[in-house]
Chain A
């Protein structure tokens, strides 16, 4: 079945970097974009950006430019979210999801299980 499996929780110090992975299975990886979503404590979902796994083009939401880098390695069907210069405000659960876009379907599905990134000194 179509599935996204994310890497485990991370505890980082301010200023460090983190790279979260999202491994896809059950479909052709390069046919569907991967999106990333942040869920900070007590906050709502925020759409961070998308990586087109066919062209390699990333698109970032306002507020997620500069320190945030989306990438992928098609040979292992894995997308990555890297956050540089971590700040305590980056503490959140980060989700990846497939943009399921075909025929008349356009949705984010399925979702990864989420990766908790905690930034603390």
Chain B
């Protein structure tokens, strides 16, 4: 069973706004989980987008933002572009030196 939950798939229109979420099967996500978000396109290594819940990694466009929304971590893309079409993963620190990735969200821009 998936401990960290993400929407399997979402779609957004070019220029639109979409929010991806990252929750826990039991309990709430907080800043103490040090959530980070990664973008992965086929055949490429993951790319860091956001860390520590809401800090944008260097070089990442500011149309990406991270937050906590209703007990889940969230990644919002404002003004989506075609090259935002990717898989997105959150990873949550569970304590005791263990992290767990969510199942990933496949984002389609159409």
* Segment at the interface with A among B9-17, B21-29, B44-52, B77-85: B44-52
Question: Chain A interface residue count: which class?
Answer: 20 to 34
Q: Specify which of A39, A50, A106 is in contact with B34 (CB 8 Å cutoff).
A: A106
Stretch among A13-21, A41-49, A73-81 lining the B interface: A41-49
Query: Would you give the 0/1 interface string for A78-121, flagging 1 where the beta carbon is closer than 8 Å to chain B?
Result: 00000000000000000101000000111111011110000000
Tell me whether B101 and A111 are in contact (CB under 8 A).
no
In the bound complex, what is the Cα–Cα distance between A47 and B104 (angstroms)? 13
Are the C-beta atoms of B52 and A104 separated by less than 8 Å? yes
- Select one of B40, B52, B96, B100 contacting A47, CB under 8 A: B100
Q: Which residue of chain B has the shortest Cβ distance to A112 in the bound complex?
A: B45
Main secondary structure of the interface of B (DSSP, over half): strand
Bound CA–CA A101/B51 (angstroms): 11
User: Mostly helix, strand, loop or mixed at chain A's interface?
Assistant: strand
Given contacts A37-B101, A104-B55, contact A45 B36 (CB under 8 A): no
Check B99 against A47 for contact (C-beta < 8 Å).
Answer: yes
Docked Cα-Cα span, A112 to B101, in Å, equals 18
Are A44 and B101 in contact (CB-based, < 8 A)?
Answer: yes
Docked-complex contact A45 and B99, CB < 8 angstroms: no
- The answer on a CB contact under 8 Å between B101 and A35 is no
CA distance A106 to B93 in the complex (A): 10
Residues of A participating in the B interface, judged by any CB pair closer than 8 Å: 35, 37, 39, 44-47, 50, 59, 61, 95, 97, 104-109, 111-114
